[in-house]
A and B are shown apart, each in its own frame.
Chain A
């Protein structure tokens, strides 16, 4: 499933990185500990987090992740947005909590 289809299905808002909306999603990883994501996330996954600083994009890019979903309507920092556009990895926003959006994404990806 592509990032753009997930946006439609889950009603997510695109904050940045529009050029990466065609990226293929292989799964997801949920964590707010950056070293945990660095060590354990996999290529093509969507990363769900509440961290909004630019190191999130450094990691998403180094790990070749498909997109980042920020929970609870959190706003990304300006340099995070800049980095997302540069790397063409979308930052998406959900008004839901981590628990709710993760559950919905899990159900959606497992329906395939």
Chain B
């Protein structure tokens, strides 16, 4: 099964749409609740990252028998130092985003903790692609 979503940068009302839908679909498929919880956390954080940092993004989700593959591709500033971005507490979020309670430097570490495989590729000034795989 394949699911696709588009996200506009800056529109916080859209954050959670993909994760909410995926949660419902995986529940219907009878996937282990613990596994669903992890996927939902990782996907929500990835959605927020696009809204908070990028101009726009696409989410492509592929649900297979034994795993879910999520690819989030955005057009945006990119990440100059991915290792630094992965560090807990590091954030480049704006003041407005921080006031909303986001941008505490916990998003990427949350994604790392809640995925079996994580790959981040980025071209500064162009785009970031995040690939997450979770096994059921």
Contacts and interface: CB of A to CB of B under 8 A. Distances in A.
Interface in A13-42: 32-36, 38-39
B104 A36 contact: yes
A62 B20 contact: yes
A61 interface: yes
Contacts, number: 56
Nearest to B40: A62
B101 interface: yes
Contacts of B20: 58, 61-62
A49 B102 CA distance: 13
B13 A38 contact: no
Q: Is the interface of B mostly helix, strand, loop or mixed?
A: helix
A36 B101 CA distance: 9
B90 interface: no
Interface in B72-114: 100-102, 104, 106-107, 110, 113-114
A79 B100 contact: no
Interface residues of A, number: 17
B136 interface: no
Contacts of A39: 41, 106, 110, 113-114
Chain B interface residue count: which class? 20 to 34
A51 interface: yes
Contact of A34 (B13, B40, B100, B113): B100
Contact of B15 (A55, A61, A79): A55
Contact of B44 (A38, A49, A53): A38
A51 B101 contact: yes
Interface of B: 12-13, 15-16, 19-20, 23, 40-41, 44-45, 48, 100-102, 104, 106-107, 110, 113-114
Given A38-B44, A53-B100, 8 more contacts: A33-B104, A35-B110, A39-B113, A49-B101, A55-B12, A59-B44, A61-B16, A62-B23
